[in-house]
Amino acid sequence: MRGVDTLSDPRAPRRRDAVLAVALIVLAIAEGMLRRDLPWPWATIGVTVILLAGLPWRRRHPLTLVLAMAVVTTGFAIVQALAGVPQSGLVAMFALLLVPYALFRWGTRVERIIGSVALATGVLVSASLAAGPAADRVIGAVVGVLFVGTACLTGALRRERAASLEREIAMARVKERTALARDLHDTVAHHVSAIAIRAQAAAARGPHSAEVAESLAVIEQEASAALGEMRTIVGTLREPVEYAPTKGLDDVAALATNGPPQVSVRIDLAAPLPQLVALTLYRVAQEAVTNARRHAIGVQRIDIDVRAEGDAVVLSVGDDGRPTAPTTGEGYGLRGMTERLALLGGRLETGPGADGGWVLRVRIPRGTS
C-alpha cells in the first residue's frame, strides 16, 4: 500500500473539477468563435457553457444534471428543427458524457432508472429531429445510444469495482480485529494466570511471611498489566482457535537476512514492551518487508529501526527500491495493520524516503508494561 489519498466527502466538488470546467468552457467559446459551419454559434456556445458549468456537481447531483442535459439538448434540437436549422454541436460537448457516467457511478437505483429514461428519450428525440434521410437518423440514434450507453456502463463497472474494494477492506479490518482479539486472549491469559498462582501462594504461606509481600507485589504488577492490555481493545470479538506462540521483538530481530535483499535490524529500547505492542511491531515489520520485496523494483536493502520516542515506540522500515503500484488485491495486509494500530492508539504513515526508496513509519503508544 504505497500511498492512499482519501477525501472526507468523495462526492463533493474538487478543485480540479473547477479547473476542468473552466478549461472546457474556454475551449467551447474558442471553438464556437472559430468555426464557420455553425448556423447559431452564440446559441450553441451558450447551451454548451451552461451544461459544462454544472460538471463540478456531477457526483453530488447526477440526476439533476442528467435531467438538465436531456431537457436543454432536446429543447435546443426542437428549436433548431422548428427554425429549419440543422443541428449543430461543439467538440467540448463530448465532455458531458461524464454526467451519465456519474449517474451510474454515484446515483441511487431510482436515480439511475429515471436518468436512463431521460437519456434515452433525449437521444431518440434529437436523432428523430435531425435533418437528412431516415437511414441517417437511425444511424445517428444508434451512435448516440452507443456513446451514452458506454458512459453508463463504465460508471456501473466502476461502481461495482469500488464496492468490491470496500468489501475487501472491510474484510481485512474484521480479520485484523479478530487476530488482535486472539492475541489479547494470549497476553491477558498469561497475566491472569500469574495473578491466580501468586494469590494461591500468598494464601498458603500465611499472613506475615516475606513470600506474601513478594506475591502481593507481583499480583499488583500483573493486574495492572492485564488491565492495560484489556483497555487497548475493548469491544473486539474473537472465536476459539488454537494459538501460535506469541511473537515479539526477538522475532523482529530475526527478520534480518544477508539477502538479497539485505535486511538490517536495529532495536534501541531501554525498557521491555507489552506483549501486544511487541507483537504488533513484529506483524507490521514482517508485512512491510514482504511488501517491499513484492512491490519495490530493484530493492537491494531494507532497514528496520525500532526506537523509543517519549511514551511511544517508533518502527521505521525503509527500502532503496523504486515503488510500483501493487496489483489488484494486494496491499490489504497493511490496511489490516492500520486497523490494528488504530485500535491500539497508533498510526501508520508511508511515503518516499529522503534518499529515495520507500519508508513506512509506525508510532504506537508504549502502554502498560
Pairing of strands 312-319, 347-352: unpaired
Q: Taking the domains of the chain in order of start, what are their residue ranges?
A: 15-131, 176-232, 249-365
pLDDT confidence of residue 329: 40
Number of other residues whose CB lies within 10 A of the CB of residue 79:
14
Radius of gyration of the chain (CA): 32
Say which DSSP state 175 is in: H
pLDDT confidence of residue 363: 92
| pLDDT in single tens digits along all 369 residues of the chain | 343 333 456 677 888 889 999 999 999 999 888 888 888 889 999 999 999 999 999 998 999 999 999 999 889 889 988 888 888 788 888 899 999 999 999 989 999 999 999 999 988 888 888 777 788 778 878 888 899 999 999 999 999 988 888 888 778 777 777 777 667 666 676 667 777 676 666 666 666 667 666 776 777 677 667 666 665 555 454 444 444 556 788 888 888 888 778 999 999 888 888 877 888 898 889 888 888 888 778 888 899 999 998 889 999 999 888 766 544 344 556 677 777 788 778 888 888 887 778 899 999 988 644
pLDDT confidence of residue 112: 92
Q: Report the C-alpha gap between 189 and 86 in whole angstroms.
A: 82
pLDDT confidence of residue 1: 39
**Structural class in CATH, domain 249-365:** alpha beta
pLDDT confidence of residue 351: 84
